[in-house]
Amino acid sequence: MLSQSAAQPSRGQQLHDRIAALVPYHRSITGEGVRQTLRDLREIVPLTIHEVPSGTRVFDWTVPREWAIRDAYIKDTDGRRIVDYRESPLHVVNSSVPVHARMSLNDLRPNIHTRPDQPDVIPYRYAHYQAGWGFCMRHRDFEAMPEGMYEVRIDSAFTDGSLTYGECCIPGASEREVLFSCHVCHPALANDNLSGIAVAAELARTLMNRDLRYTYRFVFVPSTIGAITWLARNEHRTARIDHGLVLSNLGDPGGLTYKVTRNGGTDIDRAMRHLFGYGDRPGTVRPFSPYGYDERQYNSPGFQLPVGLLTRTPHEGYPEYHTSADDLNLLTPEALEDSYDFIMEVVNLVETNRTYLNTCPKGEPELGRRGLYRSVAGHSAGRTAELPHLWVLNLADGAHNLLHIAERAGLAYSLVEQAASRLVEVGLLREAVGAPPDGAAPDRGMPP
Q: Which residue has the higher pLDDT, 1 or 198?
A: 198
Residue 425 CA, distance from chain mean position: 37
Tell me: pLDDT of 438 over 60: no
351, 212 in Cβ contact below 8 A?
A: yes
| pLDDT (0 to 100) of residue 25 | 96
Read off the pLDDT band of 2 (50, 70, 90). very low
Q: How many CA atoms lie within 13 A of 382 on its CB side?
A: 14
DSSP one-letter string for 225-237: HHHHHHHHHSGGG
Read off the pLDDT band of 8 (50, 70, 90). confident
Read off the pLDDT band of 130 (50, 70, 90). confident
Query: Between helices 32-42 and 196-207, what is the axis angle to 10°?
Result: 30
Helix (H, G, I), strand (E, B) or coil at 216: strand
| pLDDT (0 to 100) of residue 381 | 46
Residues tagged in the binding site annotation: 186, 192, 322
| pLDDT (0 to 100) of residue 444 | 45
| pLDDT (0 to 100) of residue 436 | 58
% of the chain beyond a pLDDT of 70: 92
CATH fold of the domain at 69-159: Glucose Oxidase; domain 1 (3.50.30)
| pLDDT (0 to 100) of residue 384 | 65
- In the chain, what are the domain boundaries? 9-64+162-351, 69-159, 355-431
Write down the H helix ranges in 24-166.
32-42, 105-108, 139-143
Span 106-129, average pLDDT: 97
| pLDDT (0 to 100) of residue 264 | 95
| pLDDT (0 to 100) of residue 437 | 61
How far apart, in whole angstroms, are the C-alpha atoms of residue 305 and residue 168? 19
CATH fold of the domain at 9-64+162-351: Aminopeptidase (3.40.630)
Q: Which CATH architecture has domain 355-431?
A: Orthogonal Bundle (1.10)
Give which of 49, 19, 31 is closest to 201, Cα–Cα.
19
How far apart, in whole angstroms, are the C-alpha atoms of residue 290 and residue 151? 42
Other CB atoms within a 10 A radius of the CB of residue 98 amount to 14
178, 218 in Cβ contact below 8 A?
A: no
Antiparallel, parallel or unpaired: β 355-358 and 397-401: antiparallel
pLDDT in tens, 69-111: 999 999 999 999 999 999 999 999 999 999 999 999 999 999 9
| pLDDT (0 to 100) of residue 326 | 98
Distances, alpha carbon 229 to alpha carbons 163, 204, 388, in Å: 9, 22, 45
Query: Between helices 402-409 and 413-425, what is the axis angle to 10°?
Result: 120
Q: What is the mean pLDDT of the chain?
A: 92
Listed as own residue / partner, the contacts of 403-412 with beta carbons closer than 8 Å and 24 or more positions apart are 403/267, 403/270, 403/271, 403/274, 403/349, 403/353, 403/439, 404/439, 406/274, 406/278, 407/270, 407/274, 411/278, 411/387, 412/278, 412/279
pLDDT in tens, 267-326: 999 999 999 999 888 899 999 999 999 999 999 999 999 999 999 999 888 999 999 999
Other CB atoms within a 10 A radius of the CB of residue 363 amount to 6
Return the DSSP state at 67. Answer: E
Question: Model's pTM, two decimal places?
Answer: 0.92
How far apart, in whole angstroms, are the C-alpha atoms of residue 371 and residue 355? 23
How far apart, in whole angstroms, are the C-alpha atoms of residue 432 and residue 425? 15
* Radius of gyration (C-alpha) of the chain in whole angstroms: 26
Residues tagged in the binding site annotation for Zn(2+): 186, 192, 322
359, 413 in Cβ contact below 8 A?
A: no
How far apart, in whole angstroms, are the C-alpha atoms of residue 224 and residue 408? 38
| pLDDT (0 to 100) of residue 368 | 78
Fold agreement between 69-159 and 355-431: no
Q: CA 378, 383, 385, 388 torsion: positive or negative?
A: positive
| pLDDT (0 to 100) of residue 6 | 57
| pLDDT (0 to 100) of residue 385 | 73
